[in-house]
Each structure stands twice: as C-alpha cells, then as structure tokens.
Structure 1
Amino acid sequence: MAHRTPPPPRICPACDGFASAAITLGGRDSRGCLRTITAHCPACQGTGTATVRRFPEGARA
C-alpha cells in the first residue's frame, strides 16, 4: 500500500523560510570571537512556516 505524504508546510512569505539570522554586532570579544545576536522573523516568530487562515480576508465567520 502506498504511503501518503503530508503536504509541504506553507513557507512564511515574510522571510521565505529563513526564520532566524545571526547578525554581527561588529568587533570581537575578549576571546577573539565575533559578537552576534539572533534575530527572528516577526511574522512567523522564528518557525519559518506561515499559519493557515481558515477564512479568506474579508469573510465573516
């Protein structure tokens, strides 16, 4: 019997699936490592997938 494959997750349109990014702050710390922070996509909160809307925009529930 063939296995059913789940549909691919919806990729977030704001970040195109790249939900987190390491951003350098410039300079190095005392050990010589680059100082970085992690920034997450505000639209998907760092998951990379978009939420599925049950109702189209403008429709009443």
Structure 2
Amino acid sequence: MPQHVPNTPVCRDCDGFPVVAITTGTRNLDGTRTTLRTVCRACRGTGHTARSAAFARLGR
C-alpha cells in the first residue's frame, strides 16, 4: 500500500535528507565518536523546496 506523501517538492541537493551527522574520526573520553551535525544549505534543513512560480505567457 503506498504511503501518503505531501505535495511539496523534495530538495534537489539533499533528496529529502536535510540533516546529516559526519564523524570526525576522533573519539571522546567515553569512547564515542565525535560528530558534526550539518544542515542542507539549499533548503535550510526542511528537506523541501519552495514551489516555483508558474510561467505566465505574455503577449499574443
């Protein structure tokens, strides 16, 4: 059964995955890895882009 998806277009740069965690390779004192949280710059962390305005035909 298909999932219901909102009609907002998905961001082209992040494909709808706007927040990622990148490991730096170092470890904290408790043994966990140090990570950086990064947000997509194109959609500002929403995963969706704004709808573009429809083209209007001018003239004849």
- With the length of structure 2 as denominator, give the TM-score of the two structures: 0.73
C-alpha RMSD of the superposition: 1.9
Whichever residue aligns with residue 9 of structure 2, its letter is R
1:11 matched residue in structure 2: 10
Whichever residue aligns with residue 28 of structure 1, its letter is R
Whichever residue aligns with residue 23 of structure 1, its letter is I
- Give 1:27 shift: 1.5
Q: What is the aligned length?
A: 52
Q: Which runs of 5+ in 2 are unaligned?
A: 56-60
Give, in whole Å, the separation in 2 of the partners of 1:21 and 1:37: 8
Change (3 A) 1:28 1:11: same
Q: Which runs of 4+ in 1 moved over 4 A?
A: none
- With the length of structure 1 as denominator, give the TM-score of the two structures: 0.72
